[in-house]
Every structure is written in structure tokens, then in C-alpha cells.
Amino acid sequence: MKSDCIPTTICQERKKDPIEMLHSGQLVKVCAPMVRYSKLAFRTLVRKYGCDLCYTPMIVAADFVRSIKARDSEFTTNQGDCPLIVQFAANDARLLSDAARIVCPYANGIDINCGCPQRWAMAEGYGACLINKPELVQDMVKQVRNQVENPRFSISIKIRIHDDLTRTIDLCRKAEATGVSWITVHGRTVEERHQPVHYEAIKIIKENMSIPVIANGDIRSLKEAENVWHITGTDGVMVARGLLANPAMFAGYDETPLQCIWDWIDIALELGTPYMCFHQHLMYMMEKITSRQEKRVFNALSSTSAVLDYLTDHYGI
């Protein structure tokens, strides 16, 4: 577990409380957990452009607890990286509570992934299969609550919906009764991938909850985020692919501004981002502002210096 610019003692820079933010009545703009992508450098970038709350990529709690190597590679933060939620894949209450205690000094809370539909995750008992195991979810929440002494440390869940929405509402009510801080709802079932998001379902879930609810699914602009917020009556919106394509989205930009690309280069190089990740983010950011021929050339570049030369030549960056 690496902490750039923070001591390995308890971090005091957790002043923005996400629970308070979600009770403020204002739209809370959230960067989703994204495997490989929502790491420290990208979180730093989106915070610069209006993002209020960031999640780490999903981390397997068992590996995190058992392996120092996993902790060092999976979790990096610094003083400005807040408020921050660490998302875990877990199916064991004791291992999850151990993982929560490890990250507690460096984060505002943890999130239990109950929404990942990938086959490997569900085969391991992680992700979306947990929406059918409300008692296990309750047990994990209880164990974390008992093990983490900080009463302001949040415990949230991110879910998908059932075909029968009454089952989803039952799950959410049980989670709320156990002490979950908020629930993020991706408005699709486990089987759905690119079908339209069921915002009406998210609205119904919100109407049945007393705790905050965050809406997630197919939000590509600030205007869309505001529309979904109003339609669903939720307390925040979470964005994944929309932010990959345009990290300045929450600041109101319709496409990635050149200044944002420059900021990414500065942040990524300063934090030592591996080349593949550095380049992949740029490919996403430049999708809308490059021609097919330009994409072919840019996507084939194989070094940081080649990328910098290309951007200097074509965009004066």
C-alpha cells in the first residue's frame, strides 16, 4: 500500500465527509470504481474538474489482506485524494472487516461490490451474485461496523437490480437496517449490458429508502447527470465510461479540452503512471477530437516520448 506524500500514520486529510455531502440536497458527482482506470492519477485529474467523490478500482479483499504485494500494487493515495471510497470484492465478513481496518486511516469509507456482472467475479462469489444473498451482505456490513472504530467511516454497497424489483427493494431495506451509509444503484439487471438503463427503477428504490441513493448507468455529460438526478430523485450520480472519455465532464465540457489532456500528462508523469495506463487514458480522452487516421497513428505509439512529440506536433501541447 503506497501513500504518496502522506506519512504511514493516520491521515488527517479527510475533512470532506461524503455522508454529509449526500445529505446536502446538492448533486454529488461521483467517479465510479473502474478496474485499471480509477487509480490515483485519474482520481486526481477528475477532482480538478468538478468531481466530488472518487472510488478506487475494485480490490479483492482476500488478496489485499493476505498479500503485502497486493496492497502495494492495488492501493495508492495521497493527501489530496479525498473524499475517497475503497471498493472491495468480498464474500467473507472477517476478511472484509480486516481489509476495512487496513484502509480506514487513508479513506473515508469502503464499498462492497454487489454489482459486477463478470463471470469470474460471480464464480468466486463476488459482485452481482451478492444481490441474491442479502443475509451475507448484512453480515459483512455488521462485521465492518463492529471492527472499525471511526463512526464516520462509511460502508456502502453498489448493486444491480433484479427483474423483480421487490427483491431489490427488500435487499436495500435489509442493508439500510444493518447500517449501510448509502446505496449506489446501477439501473440494469445482471444479464443486461447495453440495454437502456432503468431510471424509473432507481427512482422507486430511492422512494423506498431513508438513506442516500446514487444513480449509475450511461451518463455521458453534465446535462445528462443533472437530468438523471432530477428524474430519479437521488442524491448523487456515478459515472464511469463518460469520465474516461471526458474527465472534464463534471465541469460542463462536452468533450475533453486540451488543457485537461495537458493536466493528465503532468499528473500522470508526476505520479509515475505506467505507460500502458498513461496511453490508454489518452486514447479514451481523444476519441472525439481525433480522426480515424489520427487514431491509427496515435494508438500505435509505444513510448511516452513519442506521445509527447505527437501531441506537441499536432496540438501544440
Q: Spell out the residues 6+ positions from residue 311 whose beta carbon is closer than 8 angstroms to its own.
A: 261, 265, 317
33 is in an annotated binding site: yes
Euclidean distance between CA atoms 273 and 257, whole angstroms? 21
Report whether 19 contacts 154 (CB < 8 A).
yes
> If you ran DSSP here, which 8-state letter would residue 196 be given?
P
The answer to whether 87 is a known ligand-binding residue is yes
- For 95, 142, 145, 184, 212, the CA distances from 181, given in Å and listed in that order, are 20, 12, 11, 10, 7
Burial 144-180 (b: 16+ CB within 10 A, else e): bbeebeeeebbbbbbbbbbeeeeebbebbeebbebeb
CB atoms within 10 A of CB 122: 15
Contact 176, 209 (CB under 8 A): yes
Pick the catalytic residue from 54, 104, 114, 116: 116
CA distance 262 to 246: 13
- The answer to whether the annotation marks 105 as part of a ligand binding site is no
Known catalytic membership, residue 116: yes
281 a known binding residue? no
293 class by beta-carbon count within 10 Å (0-12 exposed, 13-18 middle, 19+ buried) = exposed
- Does 34 appear as a known binding residue? yes
Query: Alpha-carbon Rg of the chain, whole angstroms?
Result: 19
The position carrying cell 503512471 is 273
On whether 57 is known to bind a ligand per the annotation, the reply is no
Alpha helices, DSSP H, located in 23-133: 40-48, 61-66, 68-74, 93-103, 119-123
User: Would you give the DSSP letter of residue 33?
Assistant: P
Provide the annotated binding site. 33-35, 87, 186, 240-241
Provide the annotated binding site for FMN. 33-35, 87, 186, 240-241
Q: Which residues are catalytically annotated?
A: 116
